[in-house]
Amino acid sequence: MRIRIVFEKLGWFTFVNHVDLPIIFSRAARRAGLSQEFTQGFSPHPHISLGPPLAIGVVGLDEPAEFWFNDWDANSFEKWNEKLPEGLKILKYAEVEGTSLAKLATAALYRISSVKSPLGAEALAVLEEEVGRTGELFSSSLLDGEISLVVGDLEHCGAGNLVRSLKEKGIVDGWPDVRLVRERVGTWDPFTKEILPLVGCEV
């Protein structure tokens, strides 16, 4: 069974590297008594597909991933969640088929603010230019000192580039000055101008 989840990374857990997530999720699943499907070949490992990498230190509120299980029932979700460490929580799940997660995760909503002073029009222009250079900008806005960006090409357009661009222009001193939240990851719909969720939508 192919189970797609949406999870959040909060607090200290934002400093756990993205590449370590498969081990953490798999150990929690094993402690919960769940049986994962393993890949074939010389070095079998649990069959897992993660969403776009999330930079260390960035809060993730709607992060997707897929796991393959030999069995799954109505109690599996709660049992798995109970074994996850503080700061990592599965919010919802669905059994899915069809298109791969990598092809569906085409957009992300970032919210950027400064811990020292509100960001302004200059910061917005810098970030828009950076996203246009490294990825694709679907929408942007500035409200009460916080910038919202909906970006595409998530492999190349990440949080590190955004912070670097602000630092190079002297708007912030670096990561300690910035609060970054990836609020949503999903499929960009050019007709509605919205990010479609990866759980709870047609796939």
Handedness of CA 74, 26, 187, 148 (dihedral sign): positive
Q: What is the residue-averaged pLDDT of the chain?
A: 93
The pLDDT assigned to 164 comes to 95
Residue 155 confidence (pLDDT):
85
Whether the pLDDT of residue 73 is over 60: the answer is yes
Could you give the percent of the chain with pLDDT greater than 70? 98
pLDDT band at 201 (very low <50, low <70, confident <90, very high): very low
What residues are paired with 93 via a beta bridge? 5
**Over residues 77-100, mean pLDDT:** 94
**Averaged pLDDT, 139-164:** 94
Q: For the residues of 105-135, what is the DSSP string, one character each?
A: --EEEEEEEESSS---HHHHHHHHHHHHHHS
Q: What is the gyration radius of the CA atoms in the chain, in angstroms?
A: 18
Q: Is 100 helix (H, G, I), strand (E, B) or coil?
A: coil
Lowest mean pLDDT among 4-13, 43-52, 75-84, 177-186: 43-52
Residue 193, exposed/middle/buried by CB under 10 A (0-12, 13-18, 19+)?
exposed
Question: pLDDT tens-digit profile of 101-151?
Answer: 989 999 999 999 999 899 999 999 999 999 999 989 999 999 999 999 999
What mean pLDDT is predicted for residues 158-165? 93
Give yes or no for a contact between 80 and 129, defined as CB atoms under 8 angstroms apart: no
90 has pLDDT over 70: yes
The pTM is what?
Answer: 0.92
pLDDT at position 200 is 67
pLDDT at 203: 35
Give pLDDT, residue 111: 97
